[in-house]
Structure 1
């Protein structure tokens, strides 16, 4: 009897182990096509919906609507780039609902690199499948690669970023010393209004509001119209003056939240705008249901990082155009 019971336990353990190994989404095998995606990513505009561009709808939008551009989702079956379901046209969703012989249900967010399955109506962790993980990594690398005309600027940009990292480390050390000697400047703890079952969100925000280094770094976020002098290489003659692009909506909402936590006289702060921006980056948090705090923090930081990369990319392109104009 003892041997039979042990054998039954082993079978149950093997079944549980098989459940762990199986992908969480059953559409991964038929929903991916690396060859088609790679061909579609040649000379693309990453932040523009290809259907909106074809219909010339972006030209009809007001400047305010153009600033709040919708999130772009990449079909992992064919490489189609469509605007998300939060946009007016929902081209990514329409692309999925178009009848086809094979499903086009897996899409990749080009804002925060999350994968969504329309058929499952749920997010798919891309580390659950080697094929999916490899394709996501490939797309991320392609999105970070500059076009051929920008390759000449790549080495100079890397050197400049290394210098900025060194200066950043020095500033962080100074900030830590100032915080250790000026403990009286700590932010008073304030309450956060519960927007639903958002205790997980409030817990993360309370910790971030008490992070001095983060507050100091976000104070350095430049507002639109701020000019920056860029020292050119030795072969150039004059310094270049460019205007920084406006930070993304999630970054601005985070700055506003920390400012309210530090300066407002109210005992309670309502982080509605910040939570709304987080939901735009990761729709899984919509519905005001209880979620994991660690997941929220990851999406928040990834979203702010993606916005920072976008601002850098636009500023770099502007710098390159100015450099070409100066040399010619």
Structure 2
């Protein structure tokens, strides 16, 4: 954005003696001493923490406006000071009066422009060697760019880095990930927007990558659909919060690029065990959440040589006929009361990109424990035909899927640990670990304990490659 407050607010020279001692990464808030998300005021050089730590940077701006309001002669000039601050590690710049990030190219006339260009040149030069990798004896340029961790934001980075490799529409949107123009892209602007529209993800605590992905796709779909026009975001969130995972996205409305890519349809069949009445319902979905079968979860260490859990095992567990327990009695319209019943899922329509979420976190008593069981998954040729409602209407290639990306959770709990991602781009596999991107191989990918798997329809991919 164009910020009109830069000229009066940026009063520090790059070599200013007012700067705190040490490197910017070691600076901490002058009030609470926190070293998380430090921001420096470009008027007075004071360092404070960001709004989602303890908010002292914003308080500094607010207090400055109150104290300066008494100086009538210079009020117009002074009130626009202390309004611009800069992230001490990424150099992202924010204006409180505009309430938005300021693109750094707009700082060309400010005192920091030359210093920033010098530091960027040093970073690019120092990273040149790390961007060249030896593959089969030849030197190949590494085109991928990482995402900086802004403080336990690896859950967001892993999802964005996975989505970037899936389809052309998302590659265009997230093209910065493949520019290879800097050591790491810092997504503060995106994360700030996420915080504004998704309050659940505010702060710097670890979050669930799958939950973030669902919120991201939900909001993207609703905004593309025009769902926020004249309607409060909080109202939409409240209305959607009670819906099932498959129908939370209002897919029955106007189609968007989200539903065109990730949207599929499930048929839910429920049969009353008393009178035999059958009920059918169609549910749209953007992803499928799959249980890891209990007999694989409970396998003891001395049974490690037993059968290995595979992705088809999880899919069969999802679609197999299941008798509902006493807490899930079905309201039979013929019997006119709740009865025991069976349930079965069929896939009525497959999406272009099939997102499979493995349920690795389960509540036991008051704890949410992780299921660390390895699940074997195919890199190519995942056949979904046997899970279709009408497989005879599908062509031989229309049900085959090839792996595009994997999100992995490292650690023991959903509120801790770390997320990384594997993604394929132009026939090569990359491992994304926040700002670090390394070239890897298929053997490493298949050994990962997957949390989220993204598969692309082979037929749709072949058609898009020809365009």
TM class by shorter chain equals 0.3 to 0.5
* TM-score, L = length of structure 2: 0.29
* TM-score, L = length of structure 1: 0.39
Higher strand share: 2
